[in-house]
Amino acid sequence: MIGMAVVGAALGAVLFSLILQIVPPKPSALVELGQFYAHYRAPGPAVAPSATAADAQGRVGAWAGAELAKRGIRYTSLRHDLALTGQSFETLMGRKVVASVAGFLIGLVALATLRYLAGVGLPTGAPLAVAVIAAAGLFVAPDLDVRKEAIRRRAEFTEQLSIFLDLVSLKMAGHAAAAAALPEAAQRGGGWPMMLIRDTLFRARLCGQNEWDALGQLGERIAVPDLRELGALIKLVADDGAQVRATLSARAASMRRARLAEEEGNAQERNQSMRLAHMLIAVGFMVFVGYPAFVNINF
């Protein structure tokens, strides 16, 4: 009995730490902005381990990422999602490895305990099979949380980007040059997308880089096609302020239409879900009402 209690307490502690690994606490917007640039490195070999990963989890993640990259698994889209959410690839890989190993041990120990201590009849090899499935599931679980958060943040960034482009167009309509209109428009708003754009423009000015090139690189880094393509479009009409304003206004309008179509599609999906729920409730009510009469029928 004491052995079962000790095993249960150990499994509970491991499960609690595992939940913290899979779903870490959410930092503030300013902290995420700092992490965004802290984890960004200049273009180079995407497979090199991070020299700043000082903790054991970061070193394990760097080793795992390098080993997977040698086999052609580079996690390109996941790196873009991590850049948008302000997380380190090495840290996430470390969480994935720790969660996978913990899941394997938990599944193996739990089923082995049921089989050998509790006397529950299980097929041969069942503990090992369940442990492997748990390890595989927990290795993928952190990715799902990151991708879900990245989708939400990418949609929020795209929405704020359309507002930013409209503001730039209005500033330029007031006879402001693009170099002055960009930082002035970025000052309007305190959300994290505007903060990120404002910080990108500030860094570009300090480095002597073209602002549109810096915004295009930002769009490439966080996988926002509208921002990535905007720099190339502006280069085509950079000598004509009127065409720049028209390009910005047209791009902002197309982004709003795309966002509206996406919201309408989501509303339709929720509407279908509600209809299905209503049908299930109606069927359940009919079964509830008709069951007494059905069981009393004499066949």
Min mean pLDDT across 3-12, 96-105, 106-115, 226-235 is at 3-12
Min mean pLDDT across 101-115, 201-215, 257-271 is at 101-115
Is pLDDT above 80 for 96?
yes
Question: Which range, 206-215, 216-225, 274-283, is most confident?
Answer: 274-283
What is the longest distance spanned by two Cα atoms in the chain?
A: 90
CA 100 – CA 285 distance, rounded (Å):
44
Is pLDDT above 50 for 292?
yes
Q: Write out pLDDT tens, residues 214-243.
A: 888 888 888 888 888 877 777 666 566 677
CA 16 – CA 225 distance, rounded (Å):
39
Cα–Cα distances (Å) from 182 to 174, 203, 209, 287, in that order, read 13, 13, 14, 64
What pLDDT, on the 0 to 100 scale, is given for residue 156? 87
What pLDDT, on the 0 to 100 scale, is given for residue 34? 58
Q: Write out pLDDT tens, residues 40-93.
A: 544 433 334 444 444 676 777 777 778 777 777 778 888 888 888 877 888 888
pLDDT band per the 50, 70, 90 thresholds, residue 9: low
pLDDT band per the 50, 70, 90 thresholds, residue 35: low
Task: Indicate the domain borders of the chain.
Answer: 2-150, 156-257
Q: What's the token pair of residue 110?
A: 């739990």
CA 101 – CA 56 distance, rounded (Å):
15
**Smallest Cα–Cα separation from 166: which of 191, 194, 201?**
194
Q: How many residues does the chain have?
A: 299
Torsion of CA 241, 221, 84, 162, to 10 degrees: 20
Task: Name the residue type at position 245.
Answer: R
User: pTM score, two decimals?
Assistant: 0.66
**Smallest Cα–Cα separation from 143: which of 174, 100, 185?**
100
Contacts of residues 230-239 at CB distance under 8 Å and 24 or more positions apart, as own/partner, are 230/165, 234/178, 238/178, 238/212
Q: In the chain, how many H helices and how many E strands?
A: 11, 0
CA 103 – CA 139 distance, rounded (Å):
9
CA 195 – CA 259 distance, rounded (Å):
21
Q: Write out pLDDT tens, residues 113-169.
A: 776 766 666 677 777 888 888 888 888 888 888 888 888 888 888 888 888 888 888
What pLDDT, on the 0 to 100 scale, is given for residue 281? 92
Task: Name the residue type at position 277.
Answer: A
What pLDDT, on the 0 to 100 scale, is given for residue 228? 82
CA 64 – CA 51 distance, rounded (Å):
14
